[in-house]
Structure 1
């Protein structure tokens, strides 16, 4: 057993109880549901969380939930296939010590402990435990999330995001476009009450509106957040309905970016359906990123067109009516065209222009002072 932090009052009491042969120890697998574990850990002086493989990050999520959601202040021990490089994250989510299966690395663990001295402690007065800042992650934690999700399936990423990492503070954005049914079906299998943000720009195809109603009913989605542009702003900025032609960036800002900005503060993380095979700036898309200070989760980033097609067929999902007419990526009717034979999947968007994104997935441009 290797200690991760300095002795705290809570740990001293727990150690004394255990040394005297008293106190209860609870063992949990990393994939345990924290809600079910809450009653089991009540009164326990130590909880051991098992990591079956070093790249299985579910134990980190469970530790965070036990600390933050269940309010557990006793000792947490990480047990299993762990490596010293994980010391920082173990400390950050609230572990006190670690019992790794891999032996002979004591010196490496000691160096890691020295490098990452901050540890979880129950708050006293105005002191805030470090783990409570988990949604304001520095870049190293963003990298840790990407490493953790790297070998997970999209379903497992979504399950972790919804049930563990951002419980009650995560939503999925959906255009109800050509590929939308895949991600929405996955969400429906996990929690159909997950908020689905749908931007009705006032310029959508009638077929998209029909498809949105069809998918919502068929998948049992129960929490659609319909966003529309402000009517007064539309009347002022697009009185002739030609803004899309004069200034497409301004039109997207009016009808998509600003409506989303109104509610984005309700969530710590937003899920998208973007994928690397879409090309352009999406070719280097990470699974987890931060845009304008907010986390974006892209569980399908690694999937290609064949994987999407396979999922549609496997679950017999309905298709967007316009896909049979050559529309591969579907937005507003004013700025969407069928894809030509030699075009990539998004080549029908803003045809003939350099514009490739609407703006909801790109960092805000801040003018230089």
Structure 2
């Protein structure tokens, strides 16, 4: 990172400047200075990261009250240079910028994280023959068992001969008991990823504990947002008010990308009837180089209800109050009679998915 001991020309904006104003200024300049009024103000790091994520290629310069201890973090967030006072000692900055050679979390720079390095050392599970890529494998499985029942689809995905390292993802929502019940009958020790966003209904958390116990699931993994990312992007826990997509990205998409690293197959509870975007859902599909397994793809709302009743599975406590699709409390509401279940999610917004089932997320954090 460059260390500059002269005041730089060009637009100079406080890190408290609204994002849209910063983006407008960046669009017309090849060099932008962001001034920190306090070293503990994380908004400058967020602004730099977002500008880089959205394609800004000009020079970003940090100025004001920043510390040598922050040198590496500034660089990893997207800054190219730091503006120092004339005659300032540059040695501490250079030392701190090079003090560490390992990263604990992904950032804008391409530096691999510790978990990515560790993953590279983990022995790979048995792989299909080289000529049979994942897309071909999905096509073959759809042809072989795609028209079968959910149990047949699960058995095929969990067959050791397939060479997959499989986990499931569950919201522990209104319909989750069905998929988890099916999984428990095949492999109760299968890893189940639960995205603990910090904004779930209390009823969801108690329901998760109940289902885990009742179904004998032994490896439910609670995955939370990175504290550093949350502190920088949503310090007041109200990002959902201004940018629901960014909130889902922080609390769901990024954590899932980290939690699912190393798995080559992910089981989901998606169904074709839920949204128009899922109308052509297949039991097996490839998303970002991972096989997604959807055993309930062709199930209907009646199929779900019948299974719940036949097997006397516990219901989510909020269902009887009209909550038919349950996510985080700020973006979930009860639906009126005659409405679709998903009408209670992100009501009033042009949004039907949190993003975990939509392919590479916008920041490519798992790349």
2:358 is aligned to 362
1:319 is aligned to 315
1:92-111 pair list within 5 angstroms? none
2:256 is aligned to 260
- Answering whether residue 342 of structure 2 is matched by residue 346 of structure 1, we say yes
Gap change, CA 1:238 and 1:183, over 3 Å in 2 = same
> Which of residues 181, 185, 201 is equivalent to 2:181?
185
Gap change, CA 1:145 and 1:297, over 3 Å in 2 = same
1:332 is aligned to 328
Distance in 2 between residues matched to 1:247 and 1:210, nearest whole Å: 28
Query: SS at 2:230's partner residue?
Result: helix
Aligned-pair distance for 1:164?
Answer: 3.5
What do residues 145-201 of structure 1 show as CA deviations (whole Å, max 9, x unaligned)? 211122211011112211335556101100000000001011111110011011100
Aligned-pair distance for 1:143?
Answer: 2.0
Query: SS at 1:209's partner residue?
Result: helix
2:151 is aligned to 155
Distance in 2 between residues matched to 1:354 and 1:271, nearest whole Å: 27
- Answering whether residue 254 of structure 2 is matched by residue 280 of structure 1, we say no
Unpaired segments ≥5 residues, structure 1: 1-128
Distance in 1 between residues matched to 2:248 and 2:362, nearest whole Å: 17
Task: Tell me if structure 2 keeps the 8 A contact 1:178–1:319.
Answer: yes
2:235 is aligned to 239
> Which of residues 204, 209, 212 is equivalent to 1:216?
212
Instruction: Say which structure, 1 or 2, has more relative contact order (CA 8 Å, 6+ apart).
Output: 2
1:143 is aligned to 139
Number of residues of Structure 1 aligned to a counterpart in Structure 2: 238
Distance in 2 between residues matched to 1:209 and 1:261, nearest whole Å: 22
Distance in 1 between residues matched to 2:267 and 2:315, nearest whole Å: 21
Gap change, CA 1:153 and 1:238, over 3 Å in 2 = same
Unpaired segments ≥5 residues, structure 2: 1-125
CA RMSD of aligned residues (A): 1.9
Gap change, CA 1:366 and 1:200, over 3 Å in 2 = closer
Task: Tell me if structure 1 keeps the 8 A contact 2:253–2:361.
Answer: no
Gap change, CA 1:165 and 1:158, over 3 Å in 2 = farther
1:303 is aligned to 299
- Answering whether residue 195 of structure 2 is matched by residue 202 of structure 1, we say no
Distance in 1 between residues matched to 2:162 and 2:191, nearest whole Å: 13
